[in-house]
Amino acid sequence: MRHWRLILLAIGLLGLAYLVHRFLPPQHNPLRPPNLAEPLGLATYGKLTALKYNEEMCRQKLSEAGVEFEIVAADGAQARCPLEETLILKQSLTPYSAAPLRMTCHQMAALHIWERHVLRPQAEKLFDSPLRQVQTYGSFSCRNIAGTGTRSQHSYANAIDISGFILEDGTEIRVKDHWRERSAKGKFLTRVHKKACRLFSVTLGPDYDAAHADHFHLDMGSTETCR
């Protein structure tokens, strides 16, 4: 009797898996392959994490989304912060203030999704103006976390610091000046920070500590924090 119960359970699970795969929207379906153009969903973070372990697929998905990048060869052992092959962002939907931006592929993928499905729509929704530029302090930097002896995710090309945004109508939104402000600018920053927590492993802002008073730190490291 127990044997037949196990068989029926297995059949039921297979049937459930089929229904999920067949009818669940792609952005919520962990069985569907990643697509950087699809809306944010329940499975988005898991798909981004999967790209971390499949470099070929990650680069393919970036290309399919229209992201242009250049492959940078691995650094030699003599480098202070040696890296495996990484990418230089050449063209996305929105220009970034600093260049070059050198990142791991999965970090670039998460950044593109945030830009495409969060930053640009929120700019249009709250200000009725397209996003002209993302202001950043940069990505790769061979250094430790401030005040510690631990390597920052920046030293692995696995992080980026975002300080603000400029819209096509000239509106400037700065983390330092407008965080928690009771205004459309403050609302924009709150929303994009909250959505970043659904995409990046670590999202830090001014509420985290004084070192982040003027920017958002976004990384795809091995820990998970949203502050």
- Note whether 41 and 11 are same-domain residues: no
Considering the entire predicted model, what is its pTM?
0.88
Co-location of 133 and 203 in the same domain: yes
Q: Letter for the amino acid at 115?
A: E
Together in a domain, 58 and 84: yes
53-57, 78-82, 111-115: least confident range:
78-82
- Judge residue 2's burial from the number of C-beta atoms within 10 Å of its C-beta, 0-12 exposed, 13-18 middle, 19 or more buried: exposed
Identify whether residues 11 and 70 lie together within a single domain. Answer: no
Q: Say if residue 164's pLDDT is above 60.
A: yes
Percentage of the chain beyond pLDDT 90 is 72
Phi, psi for 136 (deg, rounded to 5) = -140, 150
Residue position matching structure tokens 């379906």: 29
Helix (H) or strand (E) holding 191: helix 184-196
Domain around 208: 33-226
The answer on 185 and 75 residing in a single domain is yes
